Amino acid sequence: MEPADAGLIRKVSSSLPASLWAATASPPPDYSTPAGTERCDVAIIGGGFTGLSAALHLAKRGLGVTVLEAAEPGWGASGRNGGQVIAGLKHNPDNLNETFGPETGERISTAMGAAADLVFALIDEYRIACHATRTGWIQAAHGPRPYDDLVVPRCRQWQARGVAARLLDKSEVAALVGSTPQAYHGGWLDPRGGLLQPLSYARGLAAAAMAEGARVCASSKVETLARAGDHWRLSLAQGELTAKQVILATNAYTDALWPGLARTVIPVSSFQVATAPLDAATRACIIPGGQGVTDTRRLLLYFRLDHEGRFIMGGRSPVDDNPARSDAAPLQAAIRRIFPGFDARMIDYVWSGKVAITKDTLPHLHMLAPGLIAALGCNGRGVAMCTMMGKIIAELASGTAPRDLAFPVTAPNPFVLHEFRKLGVFAMSQYYRLLDWLESR
């Protein structure tokens, strides 16, 4: 195996956008930057959960791995998300069987159903300090129809696969969430889920990959990617890297490095607010069991408490990067509607990040060319899924045949009229808002 070069080691000053997570994360490990001409077995472009998990699992297999992150590991969605660790995909297991056939469908459900186990096992194994708690995940139905059509089958299908999931009636959801009884019609509790501090988890994955021998580079934007004989050549402002294999793990931040790849996803902003730590009386009423909560809206709301008792809520927003405090108004209104007694004025942090939506709302794994793998399309759920996808990518890059993987390798599926995506996202958001409102009546 070709070892990843030692390179220049330096502490990276934080290039992260302001957020609760950036303000409270564990310190980063000492990242590298490539210098001159270097080589490795596998170059990974993108330092989020997907790329970092792939690096960790490849390094464990003894390959020389270099992660190249344009900003700092965790800069993308991985350091800005809600920190809700959720098992499974957004598609129900039976739907996956219909789409892929029972054998592949069950294989996907088994792997993605175990994705939260993988997250908590890595946290234990590498002692990642990220305020992880495994208190379960609640999906709350915003009306009778989503309860009957989505929540009940989803819960029953996981129960049929051995998960100790539980349906919750209206009053149980109100008690567990601390919401007004009118807010939710019922829900289900998935014991596999939990919470963590996402930026600390990303930094912990980076440190774990480094401990296993991977090199993790910050401030290392890959500017071009080209085939050179039997290798790939990656050029950066600071130098050049050649690699036998390349993994593109850039999700919603996918640029023009590989022709057409960006057209397979639509980047959509998700926006979050965090309050000041709640007083003890309010804290005792809101999500007293400490679960992560996501509702069934198409423009979903998700919320939780952090380890210091701040209330954090996220949702769809037209705001792209660098949101202002005034952009918090729709989420403050949602907080008042769901938790009438709760004073939502004390917002300490607002921030946003991008998720990648695919045509079929499934994550995608591609072999774009010999030795060039891409995984993208989290569709808004990726703390656990991307960690598992990184492990699957490591198997693929280590020689496991695609047919033996837990997730299918498919051809890229671009959106037509991708250049009009902003208009499309706006129109769909309005339509979804209307449907969500009608269903919650």
Ligand X SMILES: Cc1cc2nc3c(=O)[nH]c(=O)nc-3n(C[C@H](O)[C@H](O)[C@H](O)COP(=O)(O)OP(=O)(O)OC[C@H]3O[C@@H](n4cnc5c(N)ncnc54)[C@H](O)[C@@H]3O)c2cc1C
Cβ atoms < 10 Å from Cβ of 374:
27
Q: DSSP letter string over 135-203? A: --EEEEESSHHHIIIIIHHHHHHHHHTT---EEE-HHHHHHHHT--TTT-SEEEEETT-EE--HHHHHH
The count of chain residues that interact with ligand X, using the rule CB under 6 A, is: 44
Among 19, 33, 50, 109, which residue sits at the site for ligand X (rule: CB under 6 A)? 50
**Count of CA atoms in the C-beta half-sphere (13 A) of 166:** 12
Which x/- pattern over 72-101 shows residues binding ligand X (rule: CB under 6 A)? ---xxxx-xxxxx-x---------------
Residue with Cβ nearer ligand X (50 or 332): 50
Contact 86, 381 (CB under 8 A): yes
Site stretch for ligand X (CB under 6 A), options 5-13, 66-74, 412-420, 429-437:
66-74
362 interacts with ligand X by CB under 6 A: no
Among 63, 252, 335, 397, which residue sits at the site for ligand X (rule: CB under 6 A)? 252
Span 104-163, contacts to ligand X by CB under 6 A: none
Residue with Cβ nearer ligand X (157 or 358): 358
Of 136, 143, 146, nearest to 195 by C-alpha is 136
Rounded distance, CA 152 to CA 187, Å?
Answer: 8
Residue with Cβ nearer ligand X (141 or 384): 384
Among 28, 219, 382, 393, which residue sits at the site for ligand X (rule: CB under 6 A)? 382
3-state SS, residue 35: coil
Contact 367, 28 (CB under 8 A): no
Residue with Cβ nearer ligand X (154 or 381): 381
Residue with Cβ nearer ligand X (170 or 210): 210
Dihedrals phi, psi of 204, to nearest 5 degrees: -65, -40
Residue with Cβ nearer ligand X (145 or 238): 238
Site stretch for ligand X (CB under 6 A), options 19-27, 128-136, 244-252, 422-430:
244-252
3-state SS, residue 342: coil
Residues that bind ligand X (CB under 6 A): 45-51, 68-71, 75-78, 80-84, 86, 221-222, 249-253, 255, 257, 270, 272, 302, 314, 353-355, 378, 380-384, 386
